[in-house]
Structure 1
Amino acid sequence: MATTETFESLVRAEFRPRSSYLNTASNGLLPARAVAALQEAALLRAEGRPLTPLYEDVEASRAAYGRLAGVPADRVAAGASVAAHTGVIAASLPPGAEVLTAEDDFTSVLNPFHVRGDLKVRAVPLERIADSVRPGTALVAVSAAQSADGRIADLPALREAARAHGTRTYVDFSQAAGWLPMDADAYDFTAAVTFKWLLGPHGAAFLTVPEDFGGLTPLLAGWVAAERPWDSCYGPVAELARSARRFDLTHALFTYAGLRRSLELIEELGVDAVHAHDVALAERFRAGLAALGHEPVPAPGSAIVSVPGLGFRQPELSAAGIEVSDRAGHLRAAFHLYSTAADVDRLLDALSG
């Protein structure tokens, strides 16, 4: 874990937001090192130089994400969206299989199961999801932290319930990876986009799978999913990758050029240090809201704070240089490593007026 002094100096060197940016749950800010890498990647293309370094960035990003997720790189697939990863998982289920989900979870975690048309998709309140696993539940799919309001799923309880009933688990860490410690090895499948708390550009999402691939078929496999990609550009792939790379989608190379550096920064700071920083600011905001007579959605321990009924104030706050979001009528503030106590107090002052 970075010391307080190291943490603050690294953040100052990488970020200079022009506003009180409290909207990481929508998009994370790019660190300076990622911006520089994106510029260099663009020059490679513009000047006709070999793109070999960009392919190396893909593998470095895969390995770095694996370290953050707690699994080997050969269990990490590099794709483009959580919805695409969910679709592959949905396609693996037999007709009539029951999928347990949380009510109003993010669409990318849910919709591929619904569009199958022949699955039994059951939704329950997030707080009841562990208790709702039952004999015959084939898969439970849930976000680690809810996009709309930051509530954190009781993943240990869910894991135990799933194990007791022989149910597979799928957890979306998109609103958690980067600030909430992960243990992807504890679940059958996990996924996450990388443009939020992991501070990368848009265009990349990772999937983790078991060593035996968990019964998934690489329906979206192209040449990059081959064991020898450059020998597999024409005709059917003769041999799929022996690792999770068989589930890769064609790589957005510029994205990985920037993402590699963003993940390096997260590793340098340490997720534990980021977690402590983010949650402390969220708690400061919750305390300030209570003093103003506002009650946020209960989400203890979350870096996301959602206040019912105040979403309509988002445009005026943005005009005042305070970036938050309006989600389902709630004002959602998301605190990350470049957020400060002064940002929290500025938002509270604006809300008090």
Structure 2
Amino acid sequence: MTNSQAGVALPSAVRNQFAGTKEGTYLNTAAESLFMDSHRDALARYADRKSLGAAGREALVSVENHCRELVGQLLHVSPSDIAFLASTSRGLDVAIKSIDWQLGDNIVVADTEFPTTAFAAVHLSERGVERRLVRSEDSAVQPTAFAEQIDERTRLVVASLVSYKNGFKIDLPELSQVAHAHGALLFVDAVQAAGAVEIAAEAADFLCAGTYKWLLGAHGLAAFYVNPSLAERIHPPYVGYRGVVDLFAADRFERYTLLPDARRFEEGMPNYLGLHVLENALTVVLDIGVDTISEHNARLVDQAMTGLLQLGIEPLTPKDPTSRGAIVSFETNREAEITAGLARAGIGVWGRDGRVRIAPALYNTPEDVDMFLDHLQPFIGGAA
């Protein structure tokens, strides 16, 4: 499918590739994407190669290398800057543990971050690292607010490119400048952004995104970007056999030499099954074009925002279209009731932690959003 075809009618061009679209109205890609029918062929290709034992290894490695190239295209970086880890959370853990923290250092995070980041900051505080919290204002956490918390003892700034909480999209180049002005490193959680919005990853020091949401992939795999400028400054907190120059060096019991690129952060055998799925998914995403997908999602987000306001519900999602991704949410103390009621109508949304959230994706239509708004209306008495 070409970009022009996708721009005319993206959902109608791709919906038949997702069996889940026939099961109801699915607006929960921020939690989990639907599975592409063609992924079954990708799984079969993996099974065929794995069935050969070691003789199938060359084909598996070829898929891995192709995925590295595809992720490089997606993030506008060199394939050599990409490693594959198990999850976004693992990427954050690797970044944190790669830093030589000292008593009195601090980590800066925002109050709109996914709980994993909060837990990581609390865990560091148990070792004498100060945790500094950036407070959101009007659903946004601007780089200027980060600047107020960052100083010469800040070792790491952690921020989501798109917030899981309300879809706020931060200005990544500006945040990068703010962090680097004090010599801090920047870790970007891109799990709610990669595949849904354009990303120029080079502004970050570390960037990680699990593949089972907007990248249309599977569980147990994440793309991990490491800025090449860190090659001489930051080393992984472990040494895996895939991260060294010579696996069978004669003096391996005395020393080792890490690879100069992002692969030095890889541990053992990668998730080849997940890579087969990712290869298939990224081929589709890049063929359509992230810009086309992003524009489509933005139209549906705008439709949902307008509809919620007409129902008297004030969204948590920023009103500025340039400051949001493909997520719309609103506060409510009836999230469980609303989610269950919508589910009975065949509408899949996310409702937890005092919020209801929808996340329209490339396979969603304006009719899907209308269906959500129509069935939400009976709950509006106590929803907002």
TM-score over 0.5 for the alignment? yes
2:356 and 2:280 mapped to 1: Cα distance? Answer: 31
Cα distance change on mapping 1:256 and 1:37 into 2, 3 Å: same
1:228-267 maps to which residues of 2 (within 5 A)? 228=246, 231=248, 238-250=256-268, 251-267=270-286
Cα distance change on mapping 1:252 and 1:51 into 2, 3 Å: same
SS in 1 for 2:132: strand
1:55 and 1:118 mapped to 2: Cα distance? Answer: 42
Which of 189, 202, 210 in structure 1 is aligned with 2:206? 189
Which of 360, 363, 368 in structure 2 is aligned with 1:343? 368
Deviates more, 1:207-216 or 1:175-184: 207-216
How many Å apart are 1:219 and its aligned residue? 2.2
* Percentage of identical aligned residues: 30
Q: What is aligned with 1:121? A: 131
How many Å apart are 1:270 and its aligned residue? 0.6
Q: What is aligned with 1:40? A: 45
Which of 253, 274, 278 in structure 1 is aligned with 2:293? 274
AA of the residue aligned to 2:317: P
**1:306 equivalenced with 2:329 (yes/no):** yes
Per-residue CA deviation, residues 38-68 of structure 1 (Å, 9 max, x unaligned), is 1331243356562432222222112211111
SS in 2 for 1:174: coil
How many Å apart are 1:10 and its aligned residue? 4.2
Cα distance change on mapping 1:217 and 1:113 into 2, 3 Å: farther
1:202-221 maps to which residues of 2 (within 5 A)? 202-213=219-230, 215-221=233-239
Q: Give the TM-score taking structure 2 as reference length.
A: 0.84
**1:135 equivalenced with 2:151 (yes/no):** yes
**1:15 equivalenced with 2:40 (yes/no):** no
Deviates more, 1:80-89 or 1:151-160: 151-160
**1:286 equivalenced with 2:293 (yes/no):** no
1:6 and 1:54 mapped to 2: Cα distance? Answer: 35
1:135-174 maps to which residues of 2 (within 5 A)? 135-136=151-152, 137-174=154-191
Deviates more, 1:51-60 or 1:64-73: 51-60
Deviates more, 1:114-123 or 1:285-294: 114-123
C-alpha contact 1:148 1:328 (8 A) present in aligned 2: no
C-alpha contact 1:37 1:261 (8 A) present in aligned 2: yes
How many Å apart are 1:170 and its aligned residue? 1.3
How many Å apart are 1:235 and its aligned residue? 6.5
Deviates more, 1:160-169 or 1:2-11: 2-11
AA of the residue aligned to 2:330: V
2:368 and 2:9 mapped to 1: Cα distance? Answer: 20
SS in 1 for 2:131: strand
SS in 2 for 1:88: helix
AA of the residue aligned to 2:119: N
Q: What is aligned with 2:381? A: none
2:246 and 2:10 mapped to 1: Cα distance? Answer: 41
How many Å apart are 1:114 and its aligned residue? 2.9
* Divergent runs of 4+, >4 A: 46-49, 234-237
How many Å apart are 1:247 and its aligned residue? 0.4
Deviates more, 1:285-294 or 1:151-160: 151-160
AA of the residue aligned to 1:270: G
Q: CA RMSD in A?
A: 2.3
2:52 and 2:151 mapped to 1: Cα distance? Answer: 59
How many Å apart are 1:134 and its aligned residue? 3.3
Q: What is aligned with 1:102? A: 110
Q: Give the TM-score taking structure 1 as reference length.
A: 0.91
SS in 2 for 1:165: coil
How many Å apart are 1:143 and its aligned residue? 0.6
Q: What is aligned with 2:77? A: 71
How many Å apart are 1:281 and its aligned residue? 0.4
Deviates more, 1:165-174 or 1:272-281: 165-174
1:195 and 1:34 mapped to 2: Cα distance? Answer: 12
Deviates more, 1:79-88 or 1:177-186: 79-88
How many Å apart are 1:9 and its aligned residue? 5.6
How many Å apart are 1:271 and its aligned residue? 0.7
Cα distance change on mapping 1:61 and 1:6 into 2, 3 Å: farther
Count of residues in Structure 1 that have an aligned counterpart in Structure 2: 351
Deviates more, 1:124-133 or 1:314-323: 124-133
